Structure 1
Amino acid sequence: MAAESGSGAGLGVGAVARRLGVAASTLRTWDRRYGIGPSGRSAGGHRRYTADDLARLEAMQRLIVSGAPPAEAARAALDAPPAGPASPRGHGAGGNRIPLDATPAARSGPHAARVRGLARAAMALDERAMTTTVHAALDREGVVAAWELLFVPVLVGIGRKHAASGAHVEVEHLLSAVLLSALTERARPRGTGGRSVPPVLLACAPEEQHCLPVYALAAALAEAGTAATVLGARVPVPALTAAIDRTGPPAAFVWSQTSETGDPSWLAGLPTGRPPLRTVIGGPGWADRIPPRVRLVTTLSWAVAELQAVTPRR
């Protein structure tokens, strides 16, 4: 990117949208609603995204992916100090620009000590301490609150350390494994009281390997009394189609984290049923041209609400 510096002309909205794997209309909405937009100007006076702008957008995107509300993610990204040129999007939490204390909950209040404690345990590779802290938070606060106020700040903080040094991959992997284990346990099917309720289906897009948010959604749904079946990472379209035909779910959720896996053209071909299948998608990977009747959600709580709206409680 020839002009990616704090004072350079930078990139237009289309180029930034392609780089981040989001729709250009999403970037314009973030600019209009949250004030996180381009700060540079081209020679012709057109607004352009600088390297600092891009770093803030990556930080906001990481928080949204992890379940933070867009408004809070934007505030955290704007409050964070500039981090220099943006690095390519990496695996897991790597590549983000938010320090451990970037979110309001991490900077002050009752969650600050818990964020610091979990971060210390993660950096020490203390699996037992991480597991204890994670389960205590889930017991005390529930899945959505624990995800947004504790797990997200720690994950993005570790990602910032990785982006700055290239190190700490093992920290991210172990913490992700601890979270996956705890969330999977919370998402296990429970008794239905003698009434059969078709579960919603949760899957990653074809070739999408980032599946932790899907398990967070499954755990949040289970906590809310909604049954879900998790198909996991890299679900081919024929496999998802077969699962829909076989189980007759009221809704299906599909996650895409990267632009390489976010082609939405196949979503319109998913089977319909009676009542009609509700298709919900989440993640920053989805491109423009989302088919009609497909709902795009940006937070964990929103995804839960959309899926619960068409699913009888157990």
Structure 2
Amino acid sequence: MNRTLGYAIDGRDMGGPPDREAGLSVGAVAQRLGVAASTLRTWDRRYGIGPTRRSTGAHRRYTPADIARLEVMHRLLLSGAPPGEAARVALDAPPGGPPLPRGHGAGGNRVPVGAATRGPEGAEVRGLARAAMALDGPAMGDAVRTALGRDGVVRAWNELFVPVLEGIGRRYAASGDCVDVEHLLSAVLLGRLAEVPPPVRPRNARPVLLACAPEEQHSLPVHALAAALAEAGIAATLLGARVPEPALAAAIRRTGPNAVFVWSQTAETGAPARLGALPASRPPYRLVVGGPGWARDRLPASVTPVASLDEAVAELTSMYGRP
């Protein structure tokens, strides 16, 4: 599932020296990336990220630089970036530059956060993936509960749940299939994360508010964060998906939180101006945002962005000292 493409940027992997008619057809590139040829044509037509060289027969061919850009776009899409934003970043990326960091989040509920260290060749990842593809809810539930009990939320998320979700995302990107698989696995994850008990004696007297941005429906990352905070002894109030700005403002006034965390998966829901409109309180709260939907260069100076589940937990527990 998490196969990494090792493409020769200098053209030597195209079957001939770079100064000759090097280039790959759309079918060959689709096979390399694991996507449909029609998907590549759509990326070319809509976003201008396509082949730049023509063969003697006037057929357009993908150069090594073209493929490097497509790899960047593909990785960003699998991380959850909107197609237009992924294409913009890919077109701006220098060919042969360093690989993009992970942690932008995954499409739909395929999120974020932290690089997986238990690769797709691992038996546990394969086992959960097989159960997911078979729509075997009980087997998925057992695997998820076992990982959470043994490893804790953050490690299970980074090393098991995210790799499997990303693998399902690859299948979806290639074929448009597996929506049912993702929905069932997400439901199982939500159920098992909800089983993590809240702290009996919380370290915080004032709550941490967790919410999705208005119209943001991808709430799985916020549920994972709530469970991870519970393990760390932090009481959190989870408002869930699609929290309107007035509702979040009202919750801030009612609870006087220590911190507020807002998740945005897509650029359509991550409007920085909405953050500036949230009410102040005394004592003041820490405002933290996560997810690939936020344009970091436009966030208010008072807002702290985080790029992974690990970072979110560290940021939201740092004000309480050691447990």
Both proteins in one fold, TM over 0.5: yes
Distance 1:75 1:259, change over 3 A: closer
Contact 2:116 2:158 in 1 (8 A): no
Distance 1:4 1:312, change over 3 A: same
Alignment deviations for residues 223-282 of structure 1 (CA, whole Å, 9 cap, x no partner): 011110100000011111111111111100000001110111121222222332100000
Contact 2:204 2:320 in 1 (8 A): no
Unpaired runs of at least 5, structure 2 = 1-43, 54-63, 82-98
Q: Partner of 1:308 in structure 2?
A: 317
Distance 1:197 1:190, change over 3 A: same
Distance 1:49 1:279, change over 3 A: farther
Q: Partner of 2:307 in structure 1?
A: 298
Contact 1:6 1:52 in 2 (8 A): no
Shift of residue 90, structure 1, vs aligned partner: 5.6
Alignment deviations for residues 114-166 of structure 1 (CA, whole Å, 9 cap, x no partner): 00000001111111110000000001101000000000000010111122122
Aligned 1:122-271 pairs, distance under 5 A: 122-186=132-196, 188-192=197-201, 197-271=205-279
Distance 1:201 1:258, change over 3 A: same
Aligned 1:59-138 pairs, distance under 5 A: 59-60=78-79, 74=100, 91-93=108-110, 104-107=117-120, 112-138=122-148
Shift of residue 191, structure 1, vs aligned partner: 2.0
Among the aligned pairs, what percent are the same residue?
56
Aligned 1:31-46 pairs, distance under 5 A: 40=65
Distance 1:311 1:104, change over 3 A: closer
**Larger RCO, structure (CA 8 Å, separation 6 or more):** 1
Shift of residue 104, structure 1, vs aligned partner: 4.9
Shift of residue 310, structure 1, vs aligned partner: 2.5
Shift of residue 107, structure 1, vs aligned partner: 4.3
Shift of residue 182, structure 1, vs aligned partner: 0.8
Q: Name the CA distance, whole Å, in 2 between partners of 1:273 and 1:118.
A: 44
Q: Name the CA distance, whole Å, in 2 between partners of 1:170 and 1:229.
A: 29
Q: Name the CA distance, whole Å, in 2 between partners of 1:192 and 1:103.
A: 32
Shift of residue 75, structure 1, vs aligned partner: 6.9
Distance 1:308 1:55, change over 3 A: same
Q: Name the CA distance, whole Å, in 2 between partners of 1:231 and 1:151.
A: 23
AA partner of residue 181 (structure 1):
G
Structure number with larger C-alpha Rg: 2
Distance 1:103 1:308, change over 3 A: closer
Q: Counterpart of 1:260 in 2: which secondary structure?
A: coil
Q: Counterpart of 2:300 in 1: which secondary structure?
A: coil
Contact 1:226 1:313 in 2 (8 A): no
Aligned 1:6-17 pairs, distance under 5 A: 7=52
Distance 1:140 1:74, change over 3 A: farther
Q: Partner of 2:76 in structure 1?
A: 57
AA partner of residue 284 (structure 1):
P
Contact 2:217 2:241 in 1 (8 A): yes
Q: Counterpart of 1:279 in 2: which secondary structure?
A: strand
Q: Counterpart of 2:118 in 1: which secondary structure?
A: helix
Q: Counterpart of 1:295 in 2: which secondary structure?
A: strand
Q: Partner of 2:59 in structure 1?
A: none
Q: Counterpart of 2:239 in 1: which secondary structure?
A: strand
Shift of residue 170, structure 1, vs aligned partner: 1.0
Q: Name the CA distance, whole Å, in 2 between partners of 1:170 and 1:262.
A: 27
Contact 2:201 2:233 in 1 (8 A): no
